[in-house]
C-alpha cells in the first residue's frame, strides 16, 4: 500500500491523501467482491442474515488494523532493513496482524450473533481457524503491495542517486584533471625541475617521474566512487612532493595516520581536494609558508579525516568553490546523513577541514 510520507517516496511526498485513497479504494474493492459473491452464488438470506453487517465490519476493522500495522512498520523502520530481514519482518507482521484482526472480527460476530447459522455450533477456536485463512490472504496481499511498492521506489531513488553521483564524479574528475594540467601548474613545476637539473640531477629526475605519475593518475583515475585511504594518500604524496619543490622550506607536511584506517574506503580525490585547498588558500598566501597536517583516525565509531593548515578564513569558508562544494555533495550522495563535512578556523593562525565518515566493516 503506497505511503508517500517515507524517505523512499519520490512522488506526492507531502500528500497523505494518496495513501488514504488506496486504503479506502482497496477495502472498497473488498466490499464489491464480497457483494458480487453474495448475489452471484445466491446465498440464502435465512442462513446468512447478517452477511452485510459482517462484511462492512470486516472492511472497517481491516482498514483500521492495516493502518496500525503500517504505523508499526514505519515505527520499527522495517523498510530500511536489508531485503532478507525485510522478508522475515514481512511474514511476522502479516501473520501477527491477520491473527489480531481475526480475533476482533470473530469475537464481535460471536457477541452480536452475526455469524451464519451454519457456524453457530462451532467453537471459538474453530471459528478462528476458519476465518484466519481468508484474513491472512487479505493481509498478505496488502503487505505485498506495500512492500513491493516501497522496494521499487527505493530502487528508483537509488538509481537516480547513482546517476547524480556518477555525473558529479565525472565533473570532479574533469575539474581535477584541468587543475593538474593547467599551464600555470605545469609552468611552476617545470621551472622548479629546471632549477634542479644542474644543481641536483637525481632530484630533477625524481621530480619528473613524480609529475608524470601525477598526470597519469589524473588522466587514468579509476571510475570507482570510492578508493582506500592508502590509495588516496599515494596520490596526495605525489602532489605534495611537487609542491615541496615549489615552496621548498615554506611547506612543511606532517601525517598522523592510524594504520587501521588505511583500508577504509573514502570518496575518490576527496583528500586530494582538501590538501589542494589548504595550499591554495592557506600556505600560498603566507610569506613564511606554513604547515599542513593530515590526520586519519577512528573517533566514536566514525572515521575522521582532518586536514589542518596554516592560514585564516577571514570570514570565508571557500565552500562556494568547486572543490569543497563537491565534497559536500558527494558525501550527501554517498552516505546521506551518515557523513559530515566542516571547515573552521581553530585560531588566528590555522584552519581545519574535517570529514566524518561511517566506518566500513572490513
- 292: in domain: yes
Same domain (yes/no): 73, 129: yes
Closest to 343 (Cα-Cα) out of 179, 174, 169, 314: 314
- pLDDT reported for residue 328: 82
Number of domains in the chain: 2
Same domain (yes/no): 134, 182: no
Domain's final residue, options 110, 129, 159: 159
pTM of the model: 0.50
- pLDDT reported for residue 265: 92
- 2: in domain: no
- pLDDT reported for residue 293: 95
- pLDDT reported for residue 13: 46
Same domain (yes/no): 236, 256: yes
Its domain, for residue 84, covers 17-159
- pLDDT reported for residue 346: 87
- pLDDT reported for residue 146: 87
- pLDDT reported for residue 259: 94
- pLDDT reported for residue 11: 40
Same domain (yes/no): 313, 332: yes
Closest to 105 (Cα-Cα) out of 61, 155, 46: 61
- 335: in domain: yes
- 11: in domain: no
Flag residues of the chain having pLDDT under 70: 1-15, 169-186, 188, 217-224, 314-323, 361-362
- pLDDT reported for residue 2: 47
Amino acid at each position: 500500500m503506497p505511503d508517500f510520507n517515507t524517505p523512499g517516496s519520490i512522488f506526492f511526498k507531502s500528500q497523505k491523501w494518496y495513501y488514504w485513497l488506496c486504503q479506502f479504494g482497496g477495502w472498497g474493492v473488498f466490499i464489491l467482491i464480497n457483494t458480487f459473491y453474495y448475489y452471484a452464488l445466491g446465498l440464502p438470506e435465512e442462513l446468512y442474515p447478517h452477511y452485510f453487517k459482517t462484511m462492512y465490519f470486516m472492511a472497517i476493522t481491516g482498514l483500521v488494523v492495516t493502518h496500525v500495522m503500517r504505523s508499526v512498520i514505519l515505527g520499527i523502520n522495517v523498510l530500511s532493513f536489508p531485503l532478507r530481514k525485510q522478508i522475515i519482518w514481512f511474514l511476522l507482521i502479516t501473520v501477527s496482524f491477520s491473527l489480531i484482526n481475526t480475533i476482533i472480527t470473530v469475537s464481535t460476530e460471536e457477541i452480536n450473533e452475526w455469524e451464519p447459522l451454519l457456524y453457530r455450533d462451532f467453537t471459538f477456536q474453530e471459528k478462528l481457524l476458519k476465518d484466519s485463512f481468508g484474513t491472512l490472504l487479505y493481509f498478505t496481499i496488502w503487505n505485498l503491495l506495500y512492500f513491493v511498492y516501497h522496494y521499487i521506489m527505493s530502487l528508483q531513488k537509488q538509481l537516480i542517486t547513482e546517476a547524480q553521483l556518477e555525473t558529479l564524479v565525472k565533473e570532479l574528475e574533469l575539474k581535477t584533471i584541468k587543475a593538474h594540467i593547467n599551464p600555470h601548474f605545469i609552468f611552476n613545476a617545470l621551472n622548479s625541475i629546471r632549477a634542479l637539473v644542474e644543481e641536483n640531477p637525481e632530484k630533477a629526475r625524481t621530480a619528473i617521474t613524480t609529475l608524470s605519475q601525477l598526470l597519469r593518475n589524473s588522466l587514468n583515475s579509476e571510475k570507482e566512487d570510492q578508493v582506500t585511504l592508502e590509495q588516496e594518500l599515494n596520490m596526495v604524496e605525489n602532489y605534495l612532493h611537487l609542491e615541496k619543490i615549489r615552496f621548498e622550506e615554506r611547506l612543511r607536511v606532517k601525517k598522523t595516520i592510524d594504520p587501521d584506517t588505511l583500508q577504509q574506503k573514502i570518496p575518490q580525490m576527496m583528500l586530494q581536494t582538501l590538501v589542494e585547498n589548504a595550499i591554495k588558500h592557506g600556505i600560498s598566501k603566507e610569506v613564511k609558508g606554513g604547515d599542513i597536517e593530515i590526520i586519519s583516525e577512528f573517533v566514536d565509531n566514525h572515521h575522521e579525516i582532518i586536514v589542518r593548515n596554516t592560514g585564516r578564513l577571514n570570514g570565508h569558508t571557500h565552500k562556494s568553490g568547486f572543490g569543497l562544494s563537491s565534497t559536500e555533495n558527494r558525501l550527501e550522495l554517498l552516505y546521506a546523513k551518515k557523513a559530515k563535512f566542516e571547515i573552521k578556523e581553530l585560531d588566528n593562525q590555522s584552519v581545519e577541514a574535517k570529514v566524518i565518515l561511517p566506518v566500513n566493516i572490513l
